[in-house]
Amino acid sequence: MSDESGITRGRATAEMVAQRANVSRVAVSRAFNPHTSLKPEKRDLILRIAQELNYTPDRAARALVSGRSHLVGVIVPDVCSHWESQEIDALTTALQNEGFATLLFKTRTDYSMDEKLLAYMRGFNPDSVIAFVENVKPTTLARFLDRAVPIYVHYPYPGEADDEEAGPLHDRLNVLQRAGIEQAVALLQGYGAQRIAYVSGLGKSRANTAREQMLRTVMAERGLPPPVIAPSDYSYDMAYAATLDLFRIGQGADAIFAANDVGAFGVLDALRHELGLRVPEDVKVVGFDDIAQSHWKSYNLTTVKFDLAERVRALVRLILRRLNNPAAPALQETLQTRLVVRGTVG
Amino acid sequence: MSDESGITRGRATAEMVAQRANVSRVAVSRAFNPHTSLKPEKRDLILRIAQELNYTPDRAARALVSGRSHLVGVIVPDVCSHWESQEIDALTTALQNEGFATLLFKTRTDYSMDEKLLAYMRGFNPDSVIAFVENVKPTTLARFLDRAVPIYVHYPYPGEADDEEAGPLHDRLNVLQRAGIEQAVALLQGYGAQRIAYVSGLGKSRANTAREQMLRTVMAERGLPPPVIAPSDYSYDMAYAATLDLFRIGQGADAIFAANDVGAFGVLDALRHELGLRVPEDVKVVGFDDIAQSHWKSYNLTTVKFDLAERVRALVRLILRRLNNPAAPALQETLQTRLVVRGTVG
């Protein structure tokens, strides 16, 4: 039987399927696009007959005609970072429902690699690309995109140099961090924290700069001295080491704000398991992201959340809006943050 | 300037690039394939000129000729599960180095979704597909692949019904669990464990069945009573609840073997933070996977490891071997497991 091997076989045409299924040619193409509506029985019938005839719509061929690849490129430095893996998971599900597939590209934060990888990515001719400024600048990315208008996740902060407006056309998801960070600082202050340290993310990361600047601004507004900066890189291990330095070499702190939840886990483990300090009694800890692990009993972390589902919906909206109107000026979506209170402050 | 917008522009040809760069037509195509060797200066020159001329090799067009899409489909139930996200991350890096891109497809473990998703995946005409039996059966998958021979990750165990041999052509990565599980049981026995519980993975998961059966076999060989089964689903929350049931409703255990590390974290937190038991003094815990989080101080988990780098190398070898010889009979690679001893047994 033809199932005995995966080697190339002949191709049937959509017309043959339509005829056998006694449906229109249009119904056949609709059946293969999860995004279009079609009676379930009808879709199942068409797909079953398509299988019998070994028919499949060839996207490579279709892409040449339609100029649509149905691929959405996602440029990430680290697929397995907790936050990113959760975002990619939700995004892939949402894109599948819209008839797109997620194409992963891993870039180093070291720019030198990017151009070679981007030249390579360009060949796949993605319909859209989601990127972060710290990984690839809009001006660089634009040179490698034939039609896709990239989407950048942006973290506006007070007094930032907004060089991007001048750059090539790109759409934006703006994540507003103020609300969540303000709530976090207010809670720490409410429990008497005076000396607040910031265990940072990667130095060159825009998100990190934005987070630190917003924290500075909010603390100044609330009459607190500027945060003590403990340089880290978003990783558990570096945050762990940075916390040891903060207390063994530096003056310590009575509260620590970590640039992300994974870093906060490193902070908590360093405080409890190596410095013998109690959380929240001796030191209060706040994270950023609210990843799935943050509710684990060993951490039970108080953290600033941006809603993953909302974030993914906003990204998908940007993709669809852009595809419907390729010539539109820069599109924007906005996302709020809020504090999720658990056991590490109190 | 042409960088000011991402909207469609004209296409240059490889010949134009070759001429301007004063290199051969072949050198141009090599420059766009990360896998081929080319003097860095030469590649950079060609890529720079290609950018100036706005040239890009069109994979869609090329795919029609070569029959190669340079896409590798990965079918996963859950991108953000710790183990899978780490595997996808490493796999994406390795594939990029070989000139392929990772195409993600999320399937429910509920088969009903699969056929629609697969018909859709088929349109992308991947060069290879990596799958797990619990997500899609080889006979099902074969119907949706025109040329790709899928790769299945397989966990052989004593007395399994080897129905797959009969199925359509597919390649295999065999993960041999015996060595690591034997070492784990021996260590538990060495520390006097008698009543060992197994906090399971998802019931329909082949990996889970294989793990449980191998554990049974090894325990029987070593003269231990069969494991007490605490049904779970690989998740932290279910493992946490299953552990509470094991001790509050069931007879408890002096050692727990979890089907994966994330489950083991749930077990540890339930024992320590809700049941007030000490690990390893009162209960010993072993996990499976050795994900990055397992060395975190709050868990510091003793676990059965299969080497991620080795595993990815084996998968990439299978892909390349198959592409070089599409008609070859079923290919196989084998991977060993071993125990990593940390703080939860002793």
How far apart are the C-alpha atoms of B197 and B194, rounded to whole Å?
Answer: 10
- Residues 113-132 on B with a CB inside 8 Å of A are 115-117, 119-125
Let me know whether B193 and B300 are in one domain: yes
| B326 and B235 assigned to the same domain | no
Helix (H) or strand (E) holding A204: none
Domain annotation covers residue B208: yes
Give residue-wise pLDDT tens across range B60-83: 556 655 667 889 999 887 766 777
Contact call for residues B155 and B207 (beta carbons, < 8 A): yes
Q: What percent of chain A has pLDDT over 90?
A: 53
Q: Buried b / exposed e across A302-332, counting CB within 10 Å, b at 16+?
A: bbbbbebeebbebbbebbeebbeebeeeebe
Quickly state the pLDDT bin for B4 (edges 50, 70, 90).
very low
> Which class for B243: exposed (0-12), middle (13-18), buried (19 or more C-beta within 10 A)?
buried
Domain count of chain A? 3
**Is residue B345 one of the residues assigned to a domain?**
no
| Interface residue of B75, B122, B234 to substitute, partner A, most A CBs within 10 Å | B122
Examine the predicted complex and report whether its ipTM is higher than 0.90.
Answer: no
Tokens of A335: 């996302």
Task: Give the pLDDT confidence score for residue B43 in this predicted structure.
Answer: 85
CATH code assigned at B151? 3.40.50.2300
Structure tokens at B145: 């692949």
User: What's the pLDDT at B261?
Assistant: 96
Q: Which of A73-82, A133-142, B85-94 has the least mean pLDDT?
A: A73-82
pLDDT digits (tens, 9 = 90+) for A207-232: 899 999 999 999 999 999 999 999 99
> In this structure, is residue A298 part of a structural domain?
yes
Q: B223-274: per-residue pLDDT in tens?
A: 999 999 999 999 999 999 999 999 999 999 999 999 999 999 999 999 999 9
> Residue A301: which domain range?
178-306
Indicate the burial class of B276 (C-beta count within 10 angstroms; 0-12, 13-18, 19 or more). exposed
Cβ pair B96, B34 in contact under 8 A = yes
Give the whole-angstrom CA distance, residue B315 versus residue B338. 19
Is B341 inside any structural domain? no
**Rounded to a whole number, what is the distance in Å from the CA of A282 to chain B's nearest CA?**
18
pLDDT over 90 (residue B331): yes
User: Chain B partners of A144 at a C-beta cutoff of 8 Å?
Assistant: 51, 56
Residues B182 and B302 in one domain: yes
**Which of A62, A79, A149 lies at the smallest CB-CB distance from B92?**
A79
Q: What is the mean pLDDT of the segment spanning A1-23?
A: 64
Alpha carbon A246 to its chain's center: 30
Are A298 and B50 within 8 A, CB to CB? no
Whether residues B242 and B96 fall in one domain: no
Say whether both A235 and A191 belong to one domain. yes
CB contact under 8 A, A125 and B58: yes
What is the phi/psi pair of residue A175, to 5°?
Answer: -100, 115
Residue B343 lies in a domain: no
Do B216 and B289 fall within a single domain?
A: yes
Please tell me the pTM assigned to this model. 0.83
Distance between CA atoms of residues A122 and A126, nearest Å: 7
Same domain, B171 and B312: yes
The alpha carbon of B78 is separated from its chain's Cα centroid by a whole number of angstroms, namely: 11
A171 and A216, same domain (yes or no): no
Chain B CB contacts of A113 under 8 Å are none
For residue A96, give the nearest of A35, A50, A37 by alpha carbon.
A35
CB–CB contact B61 A58 (8 Å) = no
